[in-house]
Amino acid sequence: MSPIAAVVACSLALLGLAVGARVRVALAAGHHRRPTDDPAPPPRFAWLPAAVGLGVAVPGALASPAWQDALSGERPGVPLLVLALVGAAAVLAGAVASAVDLDVHRLPDRLTLPAATTAAALLALATATGEPVGSLVRALTAGLVLGGVYLLLSFLTAGGIGLGDVKLALAVGTLTGWMGWGPFLLAAWGAFAVGALWAVVLMALGRATRRTHLPFGPSMVVSAWVTWCLWLAT
């Protein structure tokens, strides 16, 4: 690992840990719950700070060549900073959405739709500061396509895919579509692969059966994050 990659990774990891710890306290207090939710105490979400820290540190290290180019003047720095902001915000939003979905089997409306619109706005800003227009058009198209596919699946599965997943798909499609159609398809199909693997593991451990309803949001987030890391690595 280069010195720049190490500095970026460590800095982002510490920042992610700090932000994740603050968010964990709010979630552990049950602020995301409704009166109709399970009256049992909410989980502690002890994994959340580490997830946010790792979630931003790994992509940050993988993107170190781009940071080096920006520091040397070979690449404009402003679009890179905007894209870094998009990535960091996506990791935090994805971690929080996953935590809430795991607890109450519901993705928060206050997070899913704003995530899609914010991602589109920031990517438009990146385009305005030098990124290709074609990437923005592809991202917006991909977001609508994936959202439409999930909406169709929601009807076909009689709610097996929830409307929260549909809204999250808008953001996932937009972000992965920015990378290209290949990463978009990988993230889309990968979500189902991650979900199936998670179900198999839980059944093997005796913590779920074939009839157990598992939240799908975390699988979508993990698949998109892995796709992002693979895209940065290549």
- Tens of pLDDT, residue by residue over 187-198, are 999 999 999 999
Using DSSP, state whether 2 is helix, strand or coil: coil
Contacts of 225 (CB under 8 A, 6+ apart): 55, 59, 91, 94
Q: What is the mean pLDDT of residues 90-111?
A: 95
Which of 17 and 75 is assigned the larger pLDDT? 17
pLDDT in tens, 103-132: 999 999 999 989 999 999 999 999 998 889
- Which pLDDT does position 159 carry in this prediction? 75
Domain with 161 in it: 3-233
C-alpha to C-alpha distances, 143 to 11, 47, 136, 148, 171, nearest whole angstrom: 31, 29, 11, 8, 6
Residue 77 has pLDDT above 70, yes or no: no
Which of 184 and 67 is assigned the larger pLDDT? 184
Residue 67 has pLDDT above 80, yes or no: no
Evaluate whether 91 touches 62 at the Cβ level (below 8 Å): no
Work out the percent of the chain whose per-residue pLDDT is above 70: 96
Q: What is the mean pLDDT of residues 208-234?
A: 94
- Tally the domains of the chain: 1
C-alpha to C-alpha distances, 204 to 176, 201, 207, 208, 210, nearest whole angstrom: 32, 5, 8, 8, 11
Which stretches of the chain are DSSP H helices? 3-28, 48-62, 64-72, 77-104, 109-128, 133-156, 163-179, 181-204, 217-233
CA distance 195 to 62: 26
